[in-house]
Amino acid sequence: MAHNRNWFSDLSWQLREVLVIAKKNAMVYYLKPPVVTFGIVFPLFFYLAFAAGHKAPVAVMVPGIVAMALFFTASAVGPLVTPWERQARTYERLVTSPASLPAIVGGDVLAGGVFGMLLSLVPMLGSCLFTSAQIDRPVALVAGVVLGALAFSSLGVLMAAPATEGPSQVMMLSNLVRLPLMFVSGVFVPHTEMPHWGQILSPFSPLSYCADLIRVGFGESAYWSVQTDVMALAGFTIVFVLLATFFHYKTRDKAH
């Protein structure tokens, strides 16, 4: 019984550390100019530039806009936190603190995920107020936003694993990964209209499943099933978190 109590107490402590680290990241990094630029401004203008050449009604484009906003905002914080910590010489202090490395990674993932969820509310509410788009299946929409935010945030934290103090280097790597995932996701071109190679690559993008769930939430039919979308996003999150923890361990050991 004592062993069980010690295990539960340690788990509770690490969970509190996750919340503390997430709160710290939110207070320090949410409004940093690179986060705002790469997380909000860049995807907004990118999507509007694409939409300008299409004649589809705005309401039809709403799920894609929401998915894009979530994708870029949730994955914008993670790649920048660790390089900034290294620049400020606080990273070494953080990894030698009582918080475990999984708790640190978990805090970074939670901070990015919450940031993405909050910012995705802006296009979501705006579209419901000013367009004919209506939320038809709120459970599917919430599942898409929450699971998508965690998957994208964990991808961002994974991108921060290289041992560098330059945020620009990490953002370059991040965009090299995010842009291909975006183009094969079906956000811009429906899966059924994609070339054969695009349909083959689309399942490897977590944005594909998030956008699919969001479309279902707005009353459209799913390309895959809702169950497949949920399981895929959960699987991506687990894999990204495990890889991020592994590579952050490697980076930390090299630093020592």
pLDDT in tens, 51-74: 665 666 655 678 888 888 899 888
Angle at CA of residue 106, ends 104 and 112, nearest 5°: 105
Contact yes or no for 148/213 (Cβ under 8 A): yes
pLDDT in tens, 128-176: 887 788 888 999 999 999 999 999 999 988 888 765 656 666 777 777 8
Structurally, how many domains does the chain consist of?
1
Residue 9: inside a domain, yes or no? no
Residue 246 exposure: Cα atoms within 13 Å on the Cβ side: 6
Q: If you average pLDDT over every residue of the chain, what do you get?
A: 80
3-class SS of residue 18: helix
- Its domain, for residue 78, covers 16-255
Residue 10: inside a domain, yes or no? no
Contact yes or no for 184/208 (Cβ under 8 A): yes
Contact yes or no for 109/117 (Cβ under 8 A): no
Residue 55: inside a domain, yes or no? yes
pLDDT over 70 at 252, yes or no:
no
pLDDT in tens, 165-207: 566 667 777 778 888 898 888 887 778 888 888 889 999 999 9
Residue 168 exposure: Cα atoms within 13 Å on the Cβ side: 0
Residue 8: inside a domain, yes or no? no
Residue 139: inside a domain, yes or no? yes
Q: How confident is the model at residue 95 (pLDDT cuts 50, 70, 90)?
A: low
Residue 178: inside a domain, yes or no? yes
Residue 33: inside a domain, yes or no? yes
Residue 162: inside a domain, yes or no? yes
